[in-house]
Structure 1
């Protein structure tokens, strides 16, 4: 689970300060305030670490390679607004986060990196600290291509060499490990630990794949659902087919049936559907997904767009395994208010039951209000929930941690958080009084 995030000179953020990440983290705020940048920083490191080019210190993204984020060049990444951060030089970008794999929060691992402008607009690693406190390694750029290396928390450096430049900002080459002899074994597993943690990240973007009339299914459960949820229906088809095959063989439902059944449960809770059905189209590999309502079945393509947009959200939550980290932007897209409220129940239930972390960027007042209710009921504890309001003052972004009391109320409520509801009520009352006066005048 990610427990801490800090950005310096990253896009609109001059500095976020240390940001606590909880099992349930909500990011709220106005458009273009910097909410998405918080998620993008994590995706940026994920695509760098999981890439295959050892010469890329930071993979800023290539749209032709289906990267999760495409951020242009280093100059596009570097913040040029607001006051200069005291943490790092103004010409560098800093990304830092911590994670822990168990319940002991003291056994956390730190990734802290700084980047400067490299050749042809690329990003070049300037500093990296990776590992648990008292373990791992630190490297610092001395000059182009040359890095000084420290092991664990030793004050004396091992030395400096071109071999000590970490590949893809996280791991050393086999030659570098071999050159360290016995000391190499102490850091050999540090980089793969980061790769393993970021491999747990499931990301679902704000623009999700629209419904298709039918789907070509590979015959297996997909390994992932895709950043746009393109494989969410494939996962449901795999689960639904497994149920049908078990019925034909008069056998109990297999474990993969849970995804199909629980998706139906949440669609019912959101008042979006009474059920689902998977139908094979002849003997081909094509299948259609049918939505059941009032004893009628309709193709997914023929029902409201809200259903096709929320299915990847539900599947992403239920698809996640214990320890996974689910990042979702605008899960409420195209949903009616009560369905938006149920999303809070979905995230809270899956997080509690299966140990899944959710980091949610949302504009939904209804999702937020339900989370307040869950806090008031103590279904969700204040330790397990962190909520932030991201606001923008001119060209400067700032992060406001929302202070929640024991009954879910916000102590530091931002001005016009979800618009001016009280002002709207006053205006409506004023206009109603004026209208009544006009009607009385007409009646003499």
Structure 2
């Protein structure tokens, strides 16, 4: 689980300060305030360490390569309105996060990196600290291409060399490990541990794939659902076919069928459908996903767009395995208020029962209010839920931690957090009174 995030000089963020990431973290705020940038920083490191180019210190993204984020050149990444601090220089970008597997804070590992402008608009690693205290390593750029290495368990540096430049900002070449002898074995697993943690991220963006009339299914459960949810229906088809086969043979449904069954449950809770079914087309590899409602069945393409947009959200939550991290932007897209509020119950239940972390960027008051209700009911605690409001102050983004008590009440509401609902009610009452006076005098 990710437990901490800090950005310096990163796009609109001069500095976020240390941000606690909880089992459920909600990012709220105005448009273009910097919420998505918080998510982009994690996706940026993920696509860097999962890449295949050892010469890229930071993979800023290629729109033709299906990268999760495309951020241009280093100059586009650098905050233009930031001053130098003790932690970072004005020409550097800093990204830091911590994660823990055991749940014990003292077992937390850290990724803390600083980058500078490199050749051809690229980003060049300036500093990297990676791993647990006393077990990781630290590298610093001394001059172009030369890095000094210090092992976490030692007070003096090993030395400096071109081979101590970490590949893709996380791991050393085999030759560098070999040159360290027995000490190399101490850090061999540090980079792969980061790769494993970032590999647990399931990301679902705000623009999701629209429904199709039918789908070509490869006959197996997909390995992922895609950043736009393109494979979410494939996952449902795989699960639905497994369920139908078990029913036909009069056997207990296999574990693979649970995704389909649980998706139906949440659609029912949201008032969006009574059921789902899968239908093959003429013995081919093409399948329909049918929405059952009020005794009838309709093709997914023929029902409201809200159903096709929320299905990837439901599937991403149910698809996640224990220890996974689900990052979702605007899960409430095209949903009515009741369905939006039920999303809070989906996230809290899956997080609690299956140890799945959620980082959710949302504008939904209904989702947020239901999360408060769940705190009041004791279904989750204030420590389980990190609540943040992001706003723009001039050229900078500001992060406000919302302080919730055990009943879900917020102690420090920002001004007009969800608009001025009290003011709207007052204006409505005044307008009604004015019209009544006009009728009485008319």
TM-score (norm 2): 0.99
Instruction: Determine whether 1:201 maps to 2:201.
Output: yes
Instruction: Determine whether 1:280 maps to 2:280.
Output: yes
Q: Offset of 1:85 from its aligned partner?
A: 4.1
The answer for the alignment partner of 1:104 in structure 2 is 104
Q: Secondary structure at the match of 2:130?
A: strand
The answer for the alignment partner of 2:396 in structure 1 is 396
Unpaired segments ≥5 residues, structure 2: none
Q: Distance in 2 between matches of 1:214 and 1:81?
A: 49
The answer for the alignment partner of 1:95 in structure 2 is 95
Is the 8 Å Cα contact of residues 9 and 85 (structure 1) preserved in structure 2?
A: no
Is the 8 Å Cα contact of residues 390 and 399 (structure 1) preserved in structure 2?
A: yes
The answer for the alignment partner of 1:169 in structure 2 is 169
The answer for the alignment partner of 1:437 in structure 2 is 437
Instruction: Determine whether 1:127 maps to 2:145.
Output: no
The answer for the alignment partner of 2:185 in structure 1 is 185
Unpaired segments ≥5 residues, structure 1: none
The answer for the alignment partner of 2:214 in structure 1 is 214
Q: Secondary structure at the match of 1:338?
A: helix
Instruction: Determine whether 1:293 maps to 2:293.
Output: yes
Q: Offset of 1:376 from its aligned partner?
A: 1.1
For 1:147-179, what per-residue CA distance to the aligned partner results, in whole angstroms no more than 9, with x for missing partners? 000011422100000000000000000000000
Q: Distance in 2 between matches of 1:81 and 1:389?
A: 21
Q: Offset of 1:142 from its aligned partner?
A: 0.4
Q: Offset of 1:287 from its aligned partner?
A: 0.1
Pair 30,85 (structure 1): closer, same or farther in 2 beyond 3 Å: farther
Higher mean C-alpha deviation, range 168-177 or range 240-249: 240-249
Q: Distance in 1 between matches of 2:106 and 2:333?
A: 38
Is the 8 Å Cα contact of residues 137 and 152 (structure 1) preserved in structure 2?
A: yes
The answer for the alignment partner of 1:62 in structure 2 is 62
Is the 8 Å Cα contact of residues 320 and 326 (structure 1) preserved in structure 2?
A: yes
Q: Distance in 2 between matches of 1:48 and 1:82?
A: 25
Is the 8 Å Cα contact of residues 145 and 162 (structure 1) preserved in structure 2?
A: yes
Q: Distance in 2 between matches of 1:153 and 1:34?
A: 37
For 1:270-296, what per-residue CA distance to the aligned partner results, in whole angstroms no more than 9, with x for missing partners? 000000000000011000000000010
The answer for the alignment partner of 1:325 in structure 2 is 325
Q: Distance in 2 between matches of 1:377 and 1:250?
A: 40
The answer for the alignment partner of 2:412 in structure 1 is 412
Q: Secondary structure at the match of 2:266?
A: helix
Is the 8 Å Cα contact of residues 14 and 397 (structure 1) preserved in structure 2?
A: yes
TM-score (norm 1): 0.99
Q: Offset of 1:82 from its aligned partner?
A: 4.6
Q: Distance in 1 between matches of 2:337 and 2:171?
A: 46
Q: Offset of 1:405 from its aligned partner?
A: 1.5
Pair 83,90 (structure 1): closer, same or farther in 2 beyond 3 Å: closer
Pair 63,197 (structure 1): closer, same or farther in 2 beyond 3 Å: same
Q: Offset of 1:407 from its aligned partner?
A: 1.4
Q: Distance in 1 between matches of 2:288 and 2:105?
A: 46
Is the 8 Å Cα contact of residues 217 and 234 (structure 1) preserved in structure 2?
A: yes
For 1:183-235, what per-residue CA distance to the aligned partner results, in whole angstroms no more than 9, with x for missing partners? 00000000000000000000000000000000000000000000000000000
Q: Offset of 1:134 from its aligned partner?
A: 1.1
The answer for the alignment partner of 2:17 in structure 1 is 17
Is the 8 Å Cα contact of residues 15 and 85 (structure 1) preserved in structure 2?
A: no
Is the 8 Å Cα contact of residues 305 and 334 (structure 2) preserved in structure 1?
A: yes
For 1:90-117, what per-residue CA distance to the aligned partner results, in whole angstroms no more than 9, with x for missing partners? 1000000000011212101000000000
Q: Distance in 1 between matches of 2:434 and 2:169?
A: 66
The answer for the alignment partner of 1:2 in structure 2 is 2
Q: Secondary structure at the match of 1:184?
A: helix
Q: Distance in 2 between matches of 1:251 and 1:377?
A: 38
Q: Offset of 1:261 from its aligned partner?
A: 0.2
Instruction: Determine whether 1:264 maps to 2:264.
Output: yes
Is the 8 Å Cα contact of residues 97 and 111 (structure 2) preserved in structure 1?
A: yes
Q: Secondary structure at the match of 1:252?
A: coil
Instruction: Determine whether 1:145 maps to 2:145.
Output: yes
Is the 8 Å Cα contact of residues 14 and 84 (structure 1) preserved in structure 2?
A: no
Q: Distance in 2 between matches of 1:83 and 1:174?
A: 39
Q: Distance in 2 between matches of 1:106 and 1:363?
A: 34
Q: Distance in 1 between matches of 2:374 and 2:283?
A: 48
Q: Distance in 1 between matches of 2:145 and 2:38?
A: 29
Q: Secondary structure at the match of 1:129?
A: strand
Q: Offset of 1:378 from its aligned partner?
A: 1.4
Q: Offset of 1:84 from its aligned partner?
A: 4.1
How many residues align structurally?
Answer: 442
Q: Distance in 2 between matches of 1:130 and 1:339?
A: 41
Q: Distance in 2 between matches of 1:245 and 1:369?
A: 41
Moved over 3 A (4+): 82-86
Q: Offset of 1:406 from its aligned partner?
A: 2.2
